[in-house]
Amino acid sequence: MKKMLSVLLSLLVITSCLTLGFTVSAEQLSVGNDVLDARFLDGKCPGELDYVYYKPQAKAGVKYPLMIWLHGAKSGDRPRAQLEWYRFSNWASDEYQARFKNAGGAYLLAPRSSKDIAHNWYDGICSDLKSTIDYFISLHPDIDTSRVYIGGYSTGGSMTWHMVTKYPGFFAAAIPIASLYNPTSGELAGLSNTSIWIFSCDKDFYTSARTSVAVKTFDALKGITNRPMGIRHTAFTEAIWESNRKQDAFDKEHYIWGAVTNDMFMDTGEQFYYSRTYDATGSKITMTRPDGIISWLSVQTNDKTGEDTKLSFFENIFAFFRTLINKLLSLFGI
């Protein structure tokens, strides 16, 4: 009896330790949410969309990349609402700004889907969003137009796909997160020189955002890209972290934005739990702080100098077998 109690107690201790591990919070920043939100200024494109933006501390002769963030459904119901839920303002922290290579900072732009009654993004307002982006760039001549990036969550992820497929060559990179839309092969055809990092969750309730669907898009991109190391897919087995524990179980596995806006790092320095990332060469990617999403994103460019080229025949064969081996290893949890 004593032996059984001892075993049960040991299991309880182990379970408690695991639970604590699962609820570790995201990377802690030197200033709080209110301070970071206040770093974003208000703006509006005449006749088009309003937005909030962050402007880096300008240095003479430096060109800065531009990162555009698109909120999810119903999160644009009032001005500045797009900052409240997703913690995109984390990217205005000193820590995250320093991770933008080559410039040491970036412009951040978060438009609001104010033209739709439900405040959702959809392909019918792509031209409005593009006009807003163009207007913003015209106001800030120190933006590096060869390094314009776009990303978003849920309907914002869908809009990310709509924008990069409608305006191929304009965006250097895109990060669609839990997208409710997946482009056709015809739409993807123009993205051979665009770096794209797809994020999905295996247990996502919304079918089009589920990993099994996202993999088809990832595989299609692998077949056309000129940037095999610029194409990535991160899949979460489940979405478990401190800010997500109290969410409705029905759709909490859709809430993977928290990993992205925290640059994929926990406060322990490890990358987010239950995530696996591969690029188009079949290489498994393990992120080590401070080199997460921002570090990858910031070196993507439309400048053809130094651009990745298509893999050779033998490199393709090697990549195929490496992918096959990685898939076999993943079946055994390795």
Radius of gyration of the chain (CA): 20
pLDDT of 181 higher than 90: yes
Structure-model confidence comparison of residues 231 and 257, the more confident one: 231
Give residue 108's pLDDT: 98
Number of H-type helices and E-type strands within the chain: 11, 10
Name the most confidently modeled range: 128-142, 250-264, 313-327: 128-142
Cα→Cα distances 226→65, 141, 188, 191, Å: 22, 29, 13, 9
CB contact set of 56 (below 8 Å; sequence gap of 6+): 64, 97, 103, 104, 105, 106, 107
SS3 7: helix
Name the most confidently modeled range: 263-272, 274-283, 299-308: 274-283
Give residue 268's pLDDT: 86
Name the most confidently modeled range: 73-77, 203-207, 236-240: 203-207
What are the boundaries of each domain within the chain?
24-331
Q: Which residue has the tokens 């015809």?
A: 186
Mean of pLDDT over the chain: 84
Q: Which residue has the tokens 């201790």?
A: 13
Pick the CATH number of 24-331 from 3.40.50.300, 3.40.1080.10, 3.40.50.1820, 3.40.50.10800: 3.40.50.1820
The CA angle 154-330-158, to the nearest 5 degrees, is 15
